[in-house]
Amino acid sequence: MAKYRLTVNGSEKTVDVDPSTPLLWVLREELKMTGTKYGCGISACGACTVHVDGVATRSCVVPVSLIGKREIVTIEGVASDPVGRAVQDAWVEKDVVQCGYCQSGQVMSAVALLKGTPNPTEKEVDESMGGNLCRCATYVRIREAIASASRQIKGAA
């Protein structure tokens, strides 16, 4: 067990865990933040996606001991970013979700995409979202929502 000071959604949190514990389980069990999901545990599905220093990161494979001082943003905090808000609004507007379990990860990946490429082409969307699995296959509506969010952000800019 070791103590780690983490910055999560702008707040400092201290946890006392086995250093090998993936960030995902620290968030879910120590900090009770269950918005970030466990889907596979091997970074193959993206349900666990958070932002670490702005980089879309698969928290199920990153041991908490490797986070250091980097800032973590989770689905619970992404609305404080205008791009995050636009993406969530677009998701609701386009009625994207079905079971919803993968959607925290989808939103986080989409936000990272739009922050990096505000006007992505269809190909760029598919590439950035290409590692996020949705068994309900809401993909077509995800594309529509990203396009809508992109226009929204451009309009607001």
Helices (H), 14-138: 23-25, 82-93, 103-116, 122-129
Hey, what are 130's tokens? 């290409």
Q: What are phi and psi of 47, to 5 degrees?
A: -65, -20
User: Can you tell me which of 4, 6, 36, 153 binds other proteins, judged by CB under 8 A?
Assistant: 36
The yes or no reply on residue 141 touching other proteins (CB under 8 A) is yes
Q: Which of 127, 134, 101, 97 is nearest to 112 (CA)?
A: 127
The yes or no reply on residue 31 touching other proteins (CB under 8 A) is no
User: Can you tell me which of 71, 133, 147, 148 binds other proteins, judged by CB under 8 A?
Assistant: 133
- Residue list 11-30, contact with other proteins (CB under 8 A): 17-18, 20-22, 25, 28-29
For other proteins, the closer of residues 130 and 151 by Cβ is 130
- Residue list 86-125, contact with other proteins (CB under 8 A): 88, 91-92, 95-104, 107, 109-110, 112-113, 115-117, 122, 124-125
The set of residues, in sequence order, having a beta carbon less than 8 Å from that of 128 and lying 6+ positions away, is 109, 110, 112, 113, 116, 117, 120
Rounded to a whole number of angstroms, the minimum distance from the CB of residue 4 to other proteins is 14
The set of residues, in sequence order, having a beta carbon less than 8 Å from that of 29 and lying 6+ positions away, is none
For other proteins, the closer of residues 55 and 156 by Cβ is 55
Rounded to a whole number of angstroms, the minimum distance from the CB of residue 157 to other proteins is 18
Beta carbons of 96 and 2 less than 8 angstroms apart = no
The yes or no reply on residue 2 touching other proteins (CB under 8 A) is no
d(CA 8, CA 27): 9
- Residue list 46-75, contact with other proteins (CB under 8 A): 46-47, 49, 55-58, 60-63, 66, 74-75
